[in-house]
Amino acid sequence: MNPIKKTRKVKIIIASVGIVLLAVILAAVHFIGPLFGFWLIPPSPKAHGKYAISLMDRGLHANTPQWQTKRAEALDAIGKARSREEVTPIIEDALKVAGGKHSFLTTDEQRKEDETLFELPTSQADGGVVTVHLPGYSGTSEQGQQYADTVANALTASGACGAIIDLTMNDGGDMGPMLAGLSPLLPNGEVVTFNTSLGDMVVTLEGGSVKGGGTPTKTDAGATKLNIPVAIITSADTASSGEQALLAFRGLDNVRVFGQPSAGYASVNQGFPLYGGLLMQLTVGETIARTSEHFGEIPIDPDEVVSLDEAPTTAREWLASKGCN
């Protein structure tokens, strides 16, 4: 064969293989990219909506007749939408049926605003008792680390004989930094299990390192385990990851909960990016405590129902009964 023709043939083969590989890569990106928040081209309003609805088939209530009815209604409305903006309220409406009350949609702007509202936990030590106030938390990885270290360091440096964990203003967010911060009070091993449509996922703690729930977070102070009684105070505003912090203590000895029933958002959310900076938080399961109890959309009762004004005093009295004065 003529060397020139042979070289040309090899180049054609290489080019053909390259085109095929490129096509395969582009196809993969087209179908898998949205799971990571990446789109080759902006989706049409119909494609945008249908994709969101397909994700909702993983929702906590996706096997109910109500979802099948709402699903058909939503797809019909999406087919008539003229813009992605018109699709957004359709998605939000359907989301509450497929996932329930804990499911919601957020924008880039809302998430950036959360970062500006970042609030550090606070603590006070008084008479051998350390009280830690844990607010809700959503923010950057740096803020999460600061949140966790603040709590863990306050606990281990206090020299306290008992702890009060105030969750009354914890409306949720990222549970990883919360549990890492509380790790000096928690034993190593399984913390809770997420029972979801995608299978069971176990949240674990090893030293001060939390994995499987929220952002993986580690605190050095968490390696120091404190064998002290823990009183927890909850309110109707204790929600979502705030309730996960509560359930992390469920079934442990020397723990008692005071205050009011929680909000009832202990179900499990999974985030799915949608086009245009939207993030769909879909409820996909329930939480199983180490006691084997299931928790989802029902408020969690305290061991002792007292007013929020009386709860701190009642908690201190209980700690005193445990020898912490």
Same domain, 19 and 122: no
Same domain, 133 and 36: no
The residue type at 162:
G
| DSSP-assigned letter for residue 224 | S
Regarding whether 276 and 155 lie in a shared domain, the answer is: yes
Alpha-helix residue ranges (DSSP H) falling in the chain: 3-32, 45-56, 65-80, 84-98, 108-116, 141-157, 175-182, 241-247, 311-321
Predicted confidence at residue 20, as pLDDT, reads 40
Specify whether 18 is located in the same domain as 116. no
Selected residue with higher pLDDT from 13 and 66: 66
Instruction: Indicate whether 4 pLDDT > 90.
Output: no
Task: Assign 7 a pLDDT band (cuts: 50, 70, 90).
Answer: low
pLDDT for 38 = 54
Query: Is 57 part of any domain?
Result: no
Q: Is the Cβ–Cβ distance between 233 and 167 less than 8 Å?
A: yes
CA torsion angle 264 270 272 277 (round to 10): 50
Q: Is residue 262 part of a domain?
A: yes
Same domain, 305 and 186: yes
pLDDT at 35: 54
- Residue 104: inside a domain: no
Max Cα distance, the chain (Å): 98
Q: Phi and psi of 274, rounded to 5°? A: -120, 165
Task: State the pLDDT at residue 115.
Answer: 84
Give the integer Cα–Cα distance in Å for 174 and 196: 18
What would the pLDDT profile of 129-188 be if each residue is shown by its tens digit?
999 999 999 999 999 999 999 999 999 999 999 999 999 999 999 999 999 999 999 999
pLDDT in tens, 210-246: 999 999 999 999 999 999 999 999 999 999 999 999 9
Instruction: Give the mean pLDDT of 23-46.
Output: 59
Both 35 and 119 in one domain: the answer is no
Instruction: Say whether both 178 and 311 belong to one domain.
Output: yes
Domain extent, residue 5, equals 1-41
Q: Round to whole Å and give the CA distance between 179 and 177.
A: 6
Half-sphere exposure of 314 (CA within 13 A, CB side): 19
Q: How confident is the model at residue 23 (pLDDT cuts 50, 70, 90)?
A: very low
Confidence grade of residue 19 (pLDDT, cut at 50, 70, 90): very low
Could you tell me if 257 and 161 lie in one domain? Answer: yes
Residue 169 shares a structural domain with residue 275: yes
CATH code assigned at 141: 3.90.226.10
Report the number of distinct structural domains present in the chain: 2
| 192 shares its domain with 273 | yes
Task: Indicate if 22 and 134 belong to the same structural domain.
Answer: no
For residue 154, being part of any structural domain is answered with yes
Mean pLDDT, all residues of the chain = 91
Residues in the chain: 325
Tell me if 148 is assigned to some domain: yes
Quickly tell me which residue has 């002290």 as its tokens: 228
Same domain, yes or no: 159 and 266? yes
Residue 142 domain-assigned?
yes
In a domain? residue 145: yes
Q: Do 166 and 204 contact (CB within 8 A), yes or no?
A: no
Q: 48 in a domain, yes or no?
A: no
Exposure string for 25-61, b = 16+ CB within 10 A, e = fewer? eeeeeeeeebeeeebeeebebebbbbbbbebbebbbb
Take residue 155 and report the two structure tokens written for it. Answer: 């606990």
pLDDT class for 255, splitting at 50, 70, 90? very high
* Residue range 281-318, pLDDT digits in tens: 999 999 999 999 999 999 999 999 999 999 999 999 99
